[in-house]
Structure 1
């Protein structure tokens, strides 16, 4: 195997492993997430979501994975409360509108109780 091929192989492994995890606990972080969600393609599932901590009709955490950016967003709903769903970004769109939109394909994992 020549040096060029080795470099290409190493680069592909780095690209696959270049995932990032972002904790969303403040309103400004939520606005950054909304900017990322506003740019998503609509021809395939572009949001994968999972929820945890569903007790007494209260949702504690929401996880959103965006495959286009290879980023997992961990949204702390206990800390943000209703702000998580009503805050709007610069495009005047909220997380609630994005999650309820039929025009943005989403895939969910174990979301029967939502």
Structure 2
């Protein structure tokens, strides 16, 4: 797994810069077009709730890959409707069927993006369904696997034999902040600045997706 660099995107100028970068690196001919690995967090994430953070992991050439936390709670619709110098928006990128976007269980993410911002995702690959398709029997596919179990079953692929313990700890620390049964609240995703444990939790949801996608 590559080293990662995390950056919060919470201003209009940052959105413009990110969108321009995405457009340039996905315009043919390019030697390498990075796949987008995406996850969303929010309060009751769905058409009935809200979107707080869009986490975007770009698998790029080089030793360090960026993970962007787009602050949808702060930016609102401007996160998707702000055009860069290339006259394209994040909505355009997300709706471009030629740009692959990888999710793990895209259902609520897609529902929330379309209901609140009119974003109709295109070019989606769902790692949860890819894992299910690798199973040998119909009976074994009656239930889909969660992200944690997929990562635990493929820890050597994701972490090269190490790192699973710290990944699980980061996920547990984040879960305690928002799971009501643990005394938390999903409103923590709207707390600004974004708490460090929430950042680590969001990173954990996307950092293994490249390896899982390659595996399945």
TM class by shorter-chain length?
Answer: 0.7 to 0.9
Tell me how far apart the structure 2 counterparts of residues 89 and 50 of structure 1 sit (CA, whole Å).
23
Aligned to 1:48: 37
Tell me how far apart the structure 1 counterparts of residues 11 and 89 of structure 2 sit (CA, whole Å).
15
Shift in alpha-carbon separation, 1:27–1:60, aligned structure 2, 3 A: same
The RMSD of aligned alpha carbons is 2.2
* Structure 1 or 2: more strand by fraction: 1
Corresponding position: 1:91 with 2:86:
yes
Shift in alpha-carbon separation, 1:33–1:45, aligned structure 2, 3 A: closer
Stretches of structure 2 lacking an aligned partner (at least 5 in a row): 111-216
Q: How many residues align?
A: 99
Tell me how far apart the structure 1 counterparts of residues 53 and 69 of structure 2 sit (CA, whole Å).
7
* Structure 1 or 2: more helix by fraction: 2
Instruction: Using structure 1 for the length normalisation, give the TM-score.
Output: 0.76
Cα deviation per residue 1:43-93 (whole Å; 9 max; x = unaligned)? 876111001111533211101111116110101101000000100011000
Tell me how far apart the structure 1 counterparts of residues 34 and 66 of structure 2 sit (CA, whole Å).
14
Aligned to 2:17: 32
Greater relative contact order structure (CA < 8 Å, 6+ sep): 1
Cα deviation per residue 1:15-37 (whole Å; 9 max; x = unaligned)? x43x2111001111111111221
